Structure 1
Amino acid sequence: MFDIWKPEIFHGRRKEKNFFEGWYFKVVDHSEKNACAVIPGVSITGDPSKSHAFVMFLDARAQRMRYFRYPLDELKASDKKFELSIGGSFFSSERMNLTLGQGRGLITARISFKGTYPWPVKLLSPGVMGWYAFVPGMECYHGILSMDHSIEGFIEVDGIRTDFTGGKGYIEKDWGVSMPSSWIWMQTNHFDREGVSLSGSIAKIPWFGSYFTGYIFGFLYDKKLYKFTAYSGAKVTLLDVTADNTRIRLENKTYRLDIDADRSKGVDLPAPKLGEMTAKVNESLNSSINVDLLKKKGSGTELIYSGTGRNAGLEFVGNITELIKGLKK
């Protein structure tokens, strides 16, 4: 029960089938010439021979993904805080140590995270899910462990070591039965000033035999997290998606957030369906996102911030018409 207020920890301890859980670590070096996503997780299906732990390693610049599979018993997790070991690798909110593969294909890393900024967890709103975190049996739950932080350390791939000290990182996670059938996801924390970060998603949410379109957006600026979420009463007043561009406008009573995201070429990653890693999602870490944050004043607005986020993660999966229809419910 108390796990609800700890979205970062492992939630699959008593799951026997149709369950997945994955943590997403994004790291970009100081030069921004190197960007990687590391996704440790677990896939639990009705067939024990298919259930396994895994670590995905995405080299965004090389456009290459590697999938390392492990027996379930090689996953060890604390039930009190986020500490996770899979094979010879270790993950927490403070550091990431990798030992993946062997020989010429060996990947190693020693990365520490400084100044993490998690989405606040409160009594009646335990993280980014808000009160939906209390609803049992949802298809997918979401957590943001850090909107923005600095990193120190290195990643070595195929004998080539890259220093990531002075770079930036981001951490989130998902767990449940399946990823949504349709969703948009975006994230960037490389703007023209420090401490600015955007994370957001729009997704089809099954709901008692029907569905609605849910959305969770957070914009971190000047040490304040501006929240635009369905559960807080914010509205999506514009959603326009093409093959290479996504435009979104979100509004609450006080603020407006305008997003214009240009998508670059991505890499296909395995994604969960009924716990099994049989679906696919194409993810880019080279996209750019223009963001305007405005404060409403009478019939007009006042610009608070305008900037372009680089090294952006961007995903679009499924049917955009389905998402738009769900916004009208």
Structure 2
Amino acid sequence: MNEYFCGWYFKCQSDSETLAVIAASHKSKIKRYCSLQVITDEASFIAKFPYKYIQHQKSNLHINISKNYLGENGMTFDTVSPDLEISGNIIFGDLTPIKYDIMGPFCYVPFMECRHSVVSMKHTVNGNIYLNGRRYDFINAKGYIEGDRGRSFPKEYAWTQCCFESGSLMLSVASIPLGNYEFTGIIAVIHLNGKEYRLATYLGAKASKIKNGEIIITQRNMTFSAKLLDKNSHPLSAPSCGLMNRTIHESASCRAYYYFQKNGHTLLNFETSKASFEYEYSI
């Protein structure tokens, strides 16, 4: 494939700080390179490297970009660049995978613009990172890992993720082109008190509302909603035709409201200041 990107998102969050790292490779017909992006509550930063500096394994999560390592067991950094100076070591506890591929049967559909994966819904994070002169400490903090690959991010989409005391959740809705057809694709997972709940297009989920930062999803006897209350967003580079030449905005940690109901029983109903949110719809 002449136009292709592959990226992995590692989020670390304590009671007071959030730090997420995106390791990615990108190539088009005319250019190839790899990158590290870091987003915090205060800002975002990026370092670019020659394509030959990245090594990763398809069989498991093991990524090397120059002197930086990111994988199932943790992360180690040693980079000095004009925008990003990062060093330190993070150790992950046992990962919490989902029951089966988040794409469901769509994982077998060829030529999709973007494919999503969820590596761990929640795990412990311990260690420290020095980022542009500031130290970030994580002691029994929470982590989350996901990935994307394909040609481009959807032209319109919303994504949110949040770890909470009794579990974690993620939700993504997007405009999905498939040949001459376009539809709203939905993937969502809620881990709550040891149980997994999933809402997805391939399971019959529908978006009853995507407007003003609010998403409401229904699927048979379940309703799941997420609402962005206060942005705290910073720019990130995102893929378009293989290259990271599109700018999106992510709030690594912001105020949001979540609600989940099944069979008429409310299972989640809370507001948090620890939500991660991207809302790239025009309405």
TM bracket, shorter-chain basis: over 0.9
- Specify the SS of the correspondent of 1:248: strand
- Name the CA distance, whole Å, in 2 between partners of 1:188 and 1:69: 28
8 Å CA contact retained: 1:104, 1:159: no
Q: CA deviation at 1:257?
A: 1.8
Asked if 1:20 is matched to 2:1, the reply is: no
Residues 212 and 166 of structure 1, relative CA distance in 2, 3 Å threshold: same
- Specify the SS of the correspondent of 2:139: coil
- Name the CA distance, whole Å, in 2 between partners of 1:41 and 1:105: 15
More strand by share: 2
Structure 1 runs (4+) greater than 6 angstroms displaced: none
Please, which runs of 5 or more residues in structure 1 have no aligned partner? 1-14, 122-126, 321-329
- Name the CA distance, whole Å, in 2 between partners of 1:218 and 1:76: 30
Q: CA deviation at 1:313?
A: 1.2
- 1:36-89 per-position Cα deviation (integer Å, ceiling 9, x unaligned): 110001010111xx31011111222x22x2211111111112243221100100
Name the residue aligned to 1:76: 55
Name the residue aligned to 1:118: 97
Asked if 1:279 is matched to 2:239, the reply is: no
8 Å CA contact retained: 2:40, 2:252: no
Q: CA deviation at 1:19?
A: 0.5
Letter in 1 for 2:240: K
- Specify the SS of the correspondent of 2:127: strand
8 Å CA contact retained: 1:263, 1:284: no
Asked if 1:44 is matched to 2:27, the reply is: yes
- 1:138-178 per-position Cα deviation (integer Å, ceiling 9, x unaligned): 00000011111110111112343332122111111110000
Q: Which residue among 154, 166, 174 is the counterpart of 2:128? A: 154
8 Å CA contact retained: 1:203, 1:215: yes
Spell out the pairing of 1:282-293 with structure 2 (5 A cutoff): 282-293=249-260
- Name the CA distance, whole Å, in 2 between partners of 1:153 and 1:86: 20
TM-score (norm 2): 0.94
8 Å CA contact retained: 2:45, 2:83: no
Residues 88 and 316 of structure 1, relative CA distance in 2, 3 Å threshold: same
Spell out the pairing of 1:192-231 with structure 2 (5 A cutoff): 194-231=165-202
Name the residue aligned to 1:305: 268
More helix by share: 1
TM-score (norm 1): 0.81
Letter in 2 for 1:57: V
- Name the CA distance, whole Å, in 2 between partners of 1:261 and 1:198: 15
Letter in 2 for 1:155: I
Residues 253 and 165 of structure 1, relative CA distance in 2, 3 Å threshold: same
- Specify the SS of the correspondent of 1:165: strand
- Name the CA distance, whole Å, in 1 between partners of 2:156 and 2:27: 22
- Name the CA distance, whole Å, in 1 between partners of 2:149 and 2:129: 27
Q: CA deviation at 1:247?
A: 2.3
Asked if 1:179 is matched to 2:158, the reply is: no
CA RMSD of aligned residues (A): 1.8
Q: Among the aligned pairs, what percent are the same residue?
A: 27
Letter in 1 for 2:246: A
- Name the CA distance, whole Å, in 2 between partners of 1:309 and 1:113: 24
Q: Which residue among 237, 243, 249 is the counterpart of 1:270? A: 237
- Specify the SS of the correspondent of 2:52: helix
Matched positions, count: 283
Name the residue aligned to 2:137: 163
Residues 231 and 155 of structure 1, relative CA distance in 2, 3 Å threshold: same
8 Å CA contact retained: 2:103, 2:117: yes
Letter in 1 for 2:277: L
- Name the CA distance, whole Å, in 2 between partners of 1:96 and 1:83: 10
- Specify the SS of the correspondent of 1:133: helix
- Name the CA distance, whole Å, in 1 between partners of 2:132 and 2:225: 41
Q: CA deviation at 1:132?
A: 0.2
- Name the CA distance, whole Å, in 2 between partners of 1:56 and 1:105: 8
